[in-house]
Amino acid sequence: MKIMSGNSNLPLARAIAAYLEIPLTDASVRRFADEEIFIEIHENVRGEDVFILQSTSYPANDNLMELLIGIDALKRASARRITAVIPYFGYARQDRKPGPRTPISAKLVADIITRAGADRVLSVDLHAGQIQGFFDIPTDNLYAAPTMAADIQARYGGQDLMVVSPDVGGVVRARALAKRLDNAPLAIVDKRRDRPGESEVMNIIGEVSGRHCILIDDIVDSGGTLCNAAQALLDNGAKSVAAYITHGVLSGGAVARVDKSALKELVITDSILPTDAAKDSERIRILPIAPLIGEAVRRIADESSVSSLFD
């Protein structure tokens, strides 16, 4: 087994390699003068089971191309099996046609990754479960919920908790976390989104008064929805509001928005390499997921059960 990484999240790749007690594969990712990407693998991978780690986060197109070119390099180097480990799968929010004459880009990207030569895909908290079906190769979708639940129990155990979904679409995710927190009660934020990146909280479904609320979601991008939801929960009597989000995209002024918000803290995983602003923020905390991904990689290599990780 070998672990190779692109440039999107080298610290996470190194942490996974350390967990597995194997070195990262020696490879270089370079740019020509016109920004074309060139990847060269400096060791033999013939007949090897290779895991290439690359989140397709900002800059999404560059990181996606690095992944595709890396897969092609491994394929032409006669790797036995190539598993694309994509902690954050970009373009996942374009998983359906929201209107006429619009693309389903998540399916397109899945086809491109498959066509490039990947034999398997491993990701974390896909935006929608059906994206697994967009790939014509085996696809494992890991869940950060067990890691988050352990952290919540350690920090907020014994308090009057309530798990909150920031929209109707995230209810299944919120219910799964609530079940791990000794069947904590569940509330839902009813919101209206007139255009991408902007939302307005309409109602809170559930009695949140006197509760310590835990907002759970897969992606925080601009942070507007999250901050609006936190304020609405406090306006409805919640004692405090913390948010646990798997993928901290945090584009634009999101970090500043979180710092000024009513959130007690925002906890994100390191599926995306945190920016310096996110690292420096007193309201944002990073939750490592290298053990989760590393254990899944080990089980795939050993041909053992991945799903039993979540039993």
Annotated binding residues for ATP, as ranges?
34-36, 93-94
Q: Which residues are annotated as a binding site for D-ribose 5-phosphate?
A: 193, 217, 221-225
Contacts for 3 with CB less than 8 Å, ≥ 6 apart: 13, 16, 17, 20, 22, 24, 25, 50, 51, 53, 297
Task: Using alpha carbons, select from 54, 213, 183, 221 the residue that is nearest to residue 122.
Answer: 54
Q: Which residues are annotated as a binding site?
A: 34-36, 93-94, 127, 167, 193, 217, 221-225
Please report, in angstroms and rounded to a whole number, the separation of the first and last CA atoms in the chain: 26
Q: Which residues are annotated as a binding site for Mg(2+)?
A: 127, 167
Catalytic positions, please? 191
